[in-house]
Structure 1
């Protein structure tokens, strides 16, 4: 996986769940690991993937490392998805027009 491949980082459900938890604020690895059936080493590996994709940043606090969500790369994903959103909006609007015409017959 390229270092900044946001899509690959988001493809994993564990990593998506970690990002959802980080929306509430910074968390240490041990806090994040409590919500999963995998151990701290696995969570640490997932966090490193997220860090390389620039989706999280690391803050050392004593012996712990706290992770913060960095949503900026998600805006790039949102911009990419916007073209598909417009496509489906047009398709659904066209379908709505056809259905409306069918109702009046």
Structure 2
């Protein structure tokens, strides 16, 4: 599955956001958060975890009866490489914005 197909689903994006922001989570913890937010079943969340695992976006390790998930950033390199050709469109604008913010801070501090 192509990286954008994986990331195109809001549930899978939310799972990755959760893991990136808070680190490793058990499948039960992920089900509790994502199931509540999206109103989906444990089985549905498990299917999304399977897609993330099989596409390489997450790693999983077994601890007794629990599965512990973590982000694997390698597939995100494919996304980053694709986005790289578009950075020229927004980087100059972001640089200009940073300049204007700095000017505004200098004016306020005077």
TM-score, scaled relative to structure 1: 0.76
Which segments of structure 1 move beyond 2 Å, counting only runs of 4 or more?
89-92
The structure-2 alpha-carbon separation of the partners of 1:84 and 1:47, relative to structure 1 and needing over 3 Å to count, comes to same
Is 1:12 the counterpart of 2:9? The answer is: yes
Q: Determine the structure 2 residue equivalent to 1:29.
A: 27
TM-score, scaled relative to structure 2: 0.73
Q: Determine the structure 2 residue equivalent to 1:71.
A: 73
Is 1:50 the counterpart of 2:47? The answer is: no
Q: Determine the structure 1 residue equivalent to 2:97.
A: none
Q: For structure 1, which segment, 75-84 or 14-23, has the greater mean C-alpha deviation from structure 2 after superposition? A: 75-84
Q: Determine the structure 2 residue equivalent to 1:101.
A: none
Looking at secondary structure, tell me which structure has more helix per residue.
2
Q: Supply the distance in 2 between the matched residues of 1:30 and 1:39 (Cα, whole angstroms).
A: 12
Segments of structure 2 that go 5 or more residues without pairing to the other structure are 94-110
Q: What CA RMSD, in Å, does the superposition of the two structures yield over aligned residues?
A: 1.7
Structure 1 residue 17: deviation in Å? 0.2
Provide the aligned length of Structure 1 versus Structure 2: 88
Q: Supply the distance in 2 between the matched residues of 1:76 and 1:43 (Cα, whole angstroms).
A: 24
Segments of structure 1 that go 5 or more residues without pairing to the other structure are 93-105
Does the 8 Å contact 2:7/2:13 carry over to 1? Answer: yes
Structure 1 residue 14: deviation in Å? 0.4
SS in 1 for 2:67: strand
